[in-house]
Structure 1
Amino acid sequence: MVRILPEGRLVYGMQLPVQALSAVFAEGWETEAEPGDLLAIACAADRLGFFYVACCDHVAIPARLADAMSTTWYDPVATLSYVAAATTRVRLLSHVAVAGLRHPLVLAKQYATLDHLSGGRLILGVGAGHVREEFDALGVDFDRRGPVLDETIDALRAALGPEEFPEYGGRHFAFRGLGQRPRPVQVPRPPIWVGGSSPAAIRRSALRGDGWLPQGDPRDQLPSRIAELARLRRGAPLDIGAITEPVYVGEPSWRVGRRTLRGKGEAIAESLREYARMGVGQIQVRFRSRSAAELLDQMEAFAADVAPHLN
Structure 2
Amino acid sequence: MDIGVLLPTGTAQWDPADDPRELVALGRLAERSGFSSLFVNDSLVSPRIEALSMLAALAPATETVTLGTAALMPFLRRPVQAAQSLASIDLLSGGRLTVTVGAGFPGRFGRPLYTLSELPWDRRFARLDETVGLWRALWDGADAFHGEILRFDGIPPTTRPFRADGPPVWLGGATPAALARTGLMYDGWLPYPPDPADYASGLRDIRRAAADAGRAAEDITPALFVSVRIDDDVEGGRRALEGYARAVYGMPLEELEKIQAVVTGSADQVRQRLGEYVAAGVRHIVVRLGALGLSSQRDQLERVADLIPAVRGAAARASFTPGS
Q: TM-score range by the shorter chain?
A: 0.7 to 0.9
Q: Give the match for residue 126 of structure 1.
A: 101
The structure-2 alpha-carbon separation of the partners of 1:260 and 1:85, relative to structure 1 and needing over 3 Å to count, comes to: same
1:166 deviation in Å?
Answer: 4.9
Q: Give the match for residue 247 of structure 1.
A: 229
RMSD of aligned Cα (Å): 2.5
1:167 deviation in Å?
Answer: 4.4
1:171 deviation in Å?
Answer: 1.7
Q: Look up the SS of the partner of 2:122 in the other structure.
A: helix
Q: Give the match for residue 269 of structure 1.
A: 271
Counterpart Cα distance in 2 of 1:133 and 1:289? 28
Q: Which amino acid aligns with 1:309?
A: A
Q: Which sits farther off after the overlay, 206-215 or 96-105?
A: 96-105
Q: Give the match for residue 136 of structure 1.
A: 115
Q: How does 1:70-81 map to 2 (within 5 A)?
A: 71-81=46-56
The structure-2 alpha-carbon separation of the partners of 1:198 and 1:170, relative to structure 1 and needing over 3 Å to count, comes to: same
Q: Give the match for residue 7 of structure 1.
A: none
Q: Give the match for residue 3 of structure 2.
A: 12
Q: Which sits farther off after the overlay, 285-294 or 125-134?
A: 285-294
Q: Look up the SS of the partner of 1:256 in the other structure.
A: helix
1:122 deviation in Å?
Answer: 0.7
Runs of 4+ that moved beyond 6 A: none
Q: Look up the SS of the partner of 1:96 in the other structure.
A: strand
Q: Look up the SS of the partner of 1:142 in the other structure.
A: coil
Counterpart Cα distance in 2 of 1:115 and 1:181? 13
Counterpart Cα distance in 1 of 2:234 and 2:198? 28
Counterpart Cα distance in 1 of 2:23 and 2:160? 28
Aligned residues: 282
Q: Give the match for residue 167 of structure 2.
A: 190
TM-score (normalizing by structure 2): 0.78
> Kindly, what percent of the aligned residue pairs are identical?
29
Q: Which amino acid aligns with 2:230?
A: Y
Uncovered stretches (5+) of structure 2, i.e. residues with no partner? 242-261, 314-324
Q: Look up the SS of the partner of 1:143 in the other structure.
A: coil
Q: How does 1:215-234 map to 2 (within 5 A)?
A: 215-234=192-211
The structure-2 alpha-carbon separation of the partners of 1:122 and 1:16, relative to structure 1 and needing over 3 Å to count, comes to: same
TM-score (normalizing by structure 1): 0.81
Q: Give the match for residue 111 of structure 1.
A: 86
Q: Give the match for residue 37 of structure 1.
A: 22
Q: Which amino acid aligns with 1:110?
A: S
Q: Which amino acid aligns with 2:21?
A: G
Counterpart Cα distance in 2 of 1:253 and 1:138? 42
- Is the contact between residue 75 and residue 117 of structure 2 (CA under 8 Å) also seen in structure 1? no
Counterpart Cα distance in 2 of 1:277 and 1:141? 40
Given the alignment of the two structures, is residue 94 of structure 1 paired with residue 69 of structure 2, yes or no?
A: yes
Uncovered stretches (5+) of structure 1, i.e. residues with no partner? 1-9, 62-70
Q: Which amino acid aligns with 1:89?
A: T
Counterpart Cα distance in 1 of 2:238 and 2:16? 18
By percentage of residues, which structure has more helix? 2
1:210 deviation in Å?
Answer: 0.2
- Is the contact between residue 6 and residue 289 of structure 2 (CA under 8 Å) also seen in structure 1? no
Q: Which sits farther off after the overlay, 105-114 or 85-94?
A: 85-94
Q: Which amino acid aligns with 1:14?
A: V
The structure-2 alpha-carbon separation of the partners of 1:86 and 1:245, relative to structure 1 and needing over 3 Å to count, comes to: closer
